[in-house]
Amino acid sequence: MSKSAHAENRDSGRAGEARGSRSAVIAFVATALVLHGIFTVALPALILGRTEGVAMLHPDIGLARWLGAGLAGFGIYLYLWSAVQLLRRRTSAVPGKTAAALLTHGWYGRTRHPLLLGVVAILFGETVFFSSLALLGYALAYWLWLTVFVTVREEPDLRRTFGADYDAYCREVPRWIPRGGARPASASSPT
């Protein structure tokens, strides 16, 4: 094969990879917009609207409500950081899709599901900001649903895909509550 044919094949492969990366980003953004639109915007707004006049569901917490804005902001950061890491590794950031890489660095070295934890932090932040016990119930129910989803669907899929590496990761990294510090050096992997 001539040099120009090699270069053409290489360029064609890069163009295909770029298209694949673009389509993965587009799929993620579309999914994120729909899911966040429903679960962190529309449903909380509906709950707030339905409970607006019920004083006992909205205790006055004064300026402490602004802690909720900080927690929601942290949740947004955690979600975006996680999504960027998944997209950089060209693995799935869309629920229900099989992962191509096991990430264990950064927040993934502190909690197994930082992207989902970001959503939970957003919901708890909204709960505090709007001083809403009804939103607290929703946030807890959503977290319970996520726990069922990851234990029944996502973690078994990851275990089938990554085997012993995923089992070791699960022994070292908690599912939800982030642990302090980095993973032990013997367990760290470049993924």
Per-residue pLDDT tens over the stretch 172-189: 999 999 988 665 544 444
Structure tokens, 172:
């070292």
Residue 187 lies in a domain: no
Rounded mean pLDDT of 155-174?
95
pLDDT tens for 85-137 read: 998 888 877 777 788 899 999 999 999 999 999 999 999 999 999 999 999 99
Tally the domains of the chain. Answer: 1
pLDDT in tens, 59-80: 999 999 999 999 999 999 999 9
Domain span including residue 94:
3-172
- The answer to whether residue 108 is domain-embedded is yes
Is 17 within a domain? Answer: yes
Encoded tokens for 162: 């990554």
Q: State pTM to two decimals.
A: 0.83
Check whether 11 has a pLDDT greater than 50: no
Does a structural domain hold residue 34?
yes
CATH number at residue 71: 1.20.120
